[in-house]
Structure 1
Amino acid sequence: MSVSLADVTRIIHELWPLSGAESWDAPGLVCGNPGRSVESIHLAVDAVSATVDEAVGHGADLFLVHHPLLLRGVTSVAEDRYKGALLGRLIRADCALLAAHTNADVVVDGVSDILATRLGLVDAAPITAGSAPGTGIGRVGRLAQPTSLGQLAHRLAQLLPATAGGVRVSGEYGSVVETVSLCGGAGDSLLGHPAVQGSDVYITADLRHHPASEAREQAGLTGGTPALIDVSHWASEWLWIEPAADQLRAALPGVRITCSSLRTDPWDFAIVQ
């Protein structure tokens, strides 16, 4: 089966509506002829040299990524610059590029929803409500059985693909955890949200020194919660790729859908003192 890129783009935007994207975001079609036939789609979190080579090697007609390659403005796509080189490689291979970013974060079965489901959260709901029921940034819920902060961190380490940064935790190893809030990707903007502050632990990625330190100092005045668990940005979003592929397989029967097996976390190793 083959369908046009325009039809595939429409279906993708039905699954992950552009109306759900944050105002600063840049999801959607980056390059490609809308009239081009699509018989194969390859998925990855990031458009980097290795995953572009993988998509082209698979003979993909469309490379669907989570992170927009052109999120910030550029003034040149010359091929002595990596974004230009990637676009040139895709265009010469007649492989379109499309991003589903925050519009794929907020939906049911989106990035944070998948992470909440895999952790087994009960009654999970968005931290910030979106325009449609059940949609919004992040998730907050409770574990079916309370556990310790340390055991929850170990569960995350088993659930997520391994990265050099691993899983970092701020809080007492043995403290009891039941209420969990989380946000796949960078989520320090939610540290002050009442749902996060009311949780036993907040799981997210890319926590910086000062926001994390200030959040934990404030927690010290209110019973020590929430504890913080910081994971790899890429790893926290990687869990979404295969469920997204399954949604595309259901919507596009006959189109070949493949998923990247490559780690695109930017860190290669860590030395622990």
Structure 2
Amino acid sequence: MPMAVCHGQTVIQFLEAFAPKHLAVPDDRIGLQVGTLEKPVRRVMIALDVLEPVVDEAIAKGVDLIIAHHAPIFRPLTALRTDLPQGRLLAKLIRHDIAVYVAHTNLDVAPGGINDLMAERLGLLDTEVLDPLYEEKLKKIVVFVPKTHHRQVLDAMAEAGAGWIGNYSHCTFNVEGTGTFLPREGANPFIGQPGKLETVEEIRLETIVPEPLLKRVIQAMLKAHPYEEVAFDVYPVENAGRVYGLGRMGKLPEPLSLRALAEKVKEAFAVSAVRVVGDLDRQVETVAVLGGDGNKFVAKAARRGADVLITGDVYYHTAHDALALGLALIDPGHNVERIVKDALRARLAEELRRAGYATEVIASELSTDPFRFV
């Protein structure tokens, strides 16, 4: 039986499981900006920018949905004129029924998102968030499962996101005991019969779950559990959850001169030149990275003890501020965020494949960097 293509809303559900909206900074321009998700999606294209050549590429490749990092509609529209560039771009999208969905700072903040990709490209060790935005709350969930279905329920909950501590999954505690119940009239018990008190050897399975994933974990648990009525409890806990935020900080495997690190940045991000602020012979070890425009984070990086901040769009006066703070800067350009295209393509394609969908995911092949070095 041939695999079905995915519905637009389903594609976005997979995306938001990785980069949920609540990770975005307030008032960020994210979500559906053009078209509709209420349609089958045969081909998805991952893009950094939605420019007219990118839209032409999408049309030529039969794309139904563009997932972009930068919003094509960033400021409120006062007119939609097709004789001007933005109006012409939007008209092409609508005419060819191509939806545009934007994942911006939520894709920066997400574990495995742009900032983690930048840190990985540079081989940074012991990374942590540069600018924390919030700490995820945790819940403890306890469910009582017959021995025969213990592993089935445990696996379902873990796959839905429960029981993760750092790089360890399936972290649970389990105690054997005896459960009792008396099915009343109208019940359809998995074990026993109506009107008779039953005793069952059960396992108390308990684990932690991030609050945003609680509903999904409960649904997975109920689906995997054999009982008609499932006994489970949810408790608040005071344990510190994962910290989410913008940028990353980490250590180089060994100290490098600022000059050598600049060359490493050029190689890691495939750029022909970078702008550098600071003494090129200075030894640096603690590195902060932040995709996009990082001017607002210079003071933060300096306070956190970074030797150098790698970011884009550095302003002239910000560079002077960094020098005064003793912080070196390397500016490889805003467009290095393009590294997310292939990474997100691979991740989303694998999720759709595992779910049995035939929807294809491609990455835009066009460079949208407006700058050239001569």
Whether the TM-score (by the shorter chain) exceeds 0.5 is yes
1:47-101: per-residue Cα shift (whole Å, max 9, x none)? 0011111111111110111001112111122212222211111111111111110
**Residue matched to 1:64:** 67
Deviates more, 1:99-108 or 1:1-10: 1-10
1:115 equivalent among 115, 118, 134: 118
Aligned length: 261
Deviation at 1:195, TM superposition (A): 5.5
Structure 1 segments unaligned to the other structure (5+ residues) = 220-225
1:14 equivalent among 10, 14, 17: 17
1:234 equivalent among 335, 348, 363: 335
**Residue matched to 1:262:** 366
Structure 2 residue 146 is matched with structure 1 residue 42: no
Letter in 2 for 1:193: K
Contact 2:288–2:301, Cα closer than 8 Å, also in 1: no
Cα distance in 2 between the residues matched to 1:194 and 1:178 = 13
**Residue matched to 2:348:** 248
Alignment of 1:116-195 (within 5 A): 116-131=119-134, 132=136, 133-162=242-271, 166-193=273-300
Q: TM-score, normalised by structure 2?
A: 0.67
Q: Percent identity?
A: 34
Deviates more, 1:40-49 or 1:12-21: 12-21
Contact 1:181–1:195, Cα closer than 8 Å, also in 2: no
Letter in 1 for 2:257: S
Deviation at 1:270, TM superposition (A): 3.6
Cα distance in 1 between the residues matched to 2:58 and 2:277 = 38
Structure 1 outlier segments of 4+, above 4 Å: 194-197
Cα distance in 1 between the residues matched to 2:110 and 2:303 = 19
Letter in 2 for 1:45: L
SS of the aligned residue for 2:342 comes to helix
Contact 2:301–2:309, Cα closer than 8 Å, also in 1: no
RMSD, aligned CA = 1.5
1:154-179: per-residue Cα shift (whole Å, max 9, x none)? 0111121336xx20111122211110
Say which structure is richer in strand: 2
Structure 2 segments unaligned to the other structure (5+ residues) = 137-241
**Residue matched to 1:23:** 26
Q: TM-score, normalised by structure 1?
A: 0.91
**Residue matched to 1:222:** none
Cα distance in 2 between the residues matched to 1:52 and 1:69 = 11
Cα distance in 2 between the residues matched to 1:240 and 1:180 = 20
Deviates more, 1:88-97 or 1:131-140: 131-140
Letter in 2 for 1:232: G
Cα distance in 2 between the residues matched to 1:134 and 1:239 = 23
